[in-house]
Amino acid sequence: MTTIYDIAKRTGYSPTTVSKAFNNYSDVREKTRQEILEAAREMGYLPNAHARTLTTKKSWTIGVLFVEGTGAGIRHPFFGAVIEDFKQVAVEKGYALMFISKDVGGKQSGYLENCRIHGVDGVVVLLSDYGDPYFQELLESNIPMVILDYETAQAHTVCSDNTAGALQAVEYLVSLGHRRIAHISGGKGTFPGKQRELGYIAAMESHSLEIPEGGIVEGAFYSLESGYAAMQQLLALQERPTAVFASGDLLAQGAVMAARDSGLAVPADISVMGFDDIELSKFVTPALTTVRQDTALLGRRAAEVLLSSIDEGRGEMQALVFPVEVVVRESCAPPAEE
């Protein structure tokens, strides 16, 4: 492995000068720099990131805290899309991404601990359970951080305007003529779930529509299965709703399947609307009418916020909220005449 010492020996300069040549110090003569760079190329020199980090305290590494345990992980359609765009700008700026787990080598250690051990310069958080004590510990720390799908004054946050999204969704259903609109809520603990539920309630109130007794059902983990189960509950209601707004696309799709299995046609007999616009939503039949989040924008802006927080200190915490839009497809229609 070639080091700056080897280059120094070969060119006759000191290691100091060699190092400076690579780091574009203004006090090495252009001719000298060229000589050194040329030698480095010939010798196949590559800098050692660990040695550099050891002295500079800067690792050029960003920790990625990704949903663990639920079995979704990297597969998670929404977070997966966001992180991909995040990665693009981070890499562009010279950073590498590293997954931070809480149990490494079978030892329970926690996110913060692993961040410290690896000396990451910052962290991007994409979790669904923000109650996790290990996450809280990280949150208390002073590591530059950006969190997705969550809001807190303790860190920069980036999320979609869930409340407004839910509002728009209900608006749309109302505009089709629906009045008995039920809601399949996201998991209790999730931030977007709460927001969307709030938006739903607010929208119903603003139209003076009554929320049917039992008209809000919780679906766990945003999973297809829980959407299915939730829909079964809704269909068993005294007065069956004519439209259902689900907090996630998978929940919605589960609802569609439950309706179908009960002999109801979507959207002829009952309308179903989702949230997220994950990839599969345009392929299912009927294609899902939903609320689209701009994942590319979320990812990109999250990266920008984090990087500038790394460069310029944490500064004022930013809570970025991005607008969403209703994507009309085939799963909603005016209610059937009664």
Partner DNA sequence: AGTGAATATTAAAGGGCTTACATTTACGGC
Partner DNA sequence: GCCGTAAATGTAAGCCCTTTAATATTCACT
Contacting residues toward a copy of itself, per CB under 8 A: 46-51, 53-54, 59, 61, 73-75, 77, 80-81, 83-84, 87, 91-101, 103-106, 113-114, 116-119, 224, 253, 279-280, 283-285
Q: Which does 188 bind (CB under 5 to 8 A by kind): DNA, a copy of itself, none?
A: none
Of the residues 4, 234, 256, 278, which one makes contact with DNA according to CB under 7 A: 4
**Of the two residues 2 and 232, which places its CB atom closer to DNA in the complex?**
2
Q: How far is the CB of 71 from a copy of itself (least distance, A)?
A: 8
Cis amide linkage into residue 286, ω under 30° from 0: yes
54 binds DNA (CB under 7 A): yes
Q: Which does 280 bind (CB under 5 to 8 A by kind): a copy of itself, DNA, none?
A: a copy of itself
By CB atoms closer than 10 A (0-12, 13-18, 19+), residue 56 is exposed
Q: Residue 41 carries which side chain, given as an amino acid letter? A: R
24 binds DNA (CB under 7 A): no
Q: Which does 27 bind (CB under 5 to 8 A by kind): DNA, a copy of itself, none?
A: DNA
Q: How far is the CB of 105 from DNA (least distance, A)?
A: 14
Per-residue DSSP letters for 153-168? TTSEEEEE-HHHHHHH
Nearest CA among 285, 203, 242, 188 for reference residue 234: 242
Q: Which does 22 bind (CB under 5 to 8 A by kind): a copy of itself, DNA, none?
A: DNA
Q: How far is the CB of 201 from a copy of itself (least distance, A)?
A: 29
Angle at 80 between CA 196 and CA 120, to 5 degrees: 105
Report CA 268 to chain centroid distance, whole Å. 34
**Of the two residues 14 and 206, which places its CB atom closer to DNA in the complex?**
14
Q: Which does 104 bind (CB under 5 to 8 A by kind): DNA, a copy of itself, none?
A: a copy of itself
Cβ atoms 112, 85 nearer than 8 A: no
Of the residues 9, 10, 24, 28, which one makes contact with DNA according to CB under 7 A: 28
Distance CA 260, CA 271 (A): 12
**Of the two residues 57 and 283, which places its CB atom closer to DNA in the complex?**
57
113 binds DNA (CB under 7 A): no
Nearest CA among 38, 37, 39 for reference residue 9: 39
**Of the two residues 13 and 135, which places its CB atom closer to DNA in the complex?**
13
**Of the two residues 14 and 154, which places its CB atom closer to DNA in the complex?**
14
15 binds DNA (CB under 7 A): yes
Scan for tokens 């999204």, then name that residue.
165
Element spanning 189, H or E: none
Half-sphere exposure at residue 258, Cβ-oriented, CA atoms within 13 angstroms? 24
Q: How far is the CB of 151 from DNA (least distance, A)?
A: 35
For 102, the token pair is 């809480």
Distance CA 289, CA 246 (A): 11
Element spanning 290, H or E: strand 290-292
**Of the two residues 39 and 259, which places its CB atom closer to DNA in the complex?**
39
Q: How far is the CB of 43 from DNA (least distance, A)?
A: 11
271 binds DNA (CB under 7 A): no
Please work out the total of residues on this chain that contact DNA, with binding judged by CB under 7 A: 29
Cβ atoms 213, 240 nearer than 8 A: no
Write the CA distances from 206 to 81, 160, 174, 200, 324, integer angstroms: 34, 22, 11, 10, 20
Residues that bind DNA (CB under 7 A): 1, 3-5, 12-17, 19-20, 22-23, 25-29, 32, 45-48, 51-52, 54-56
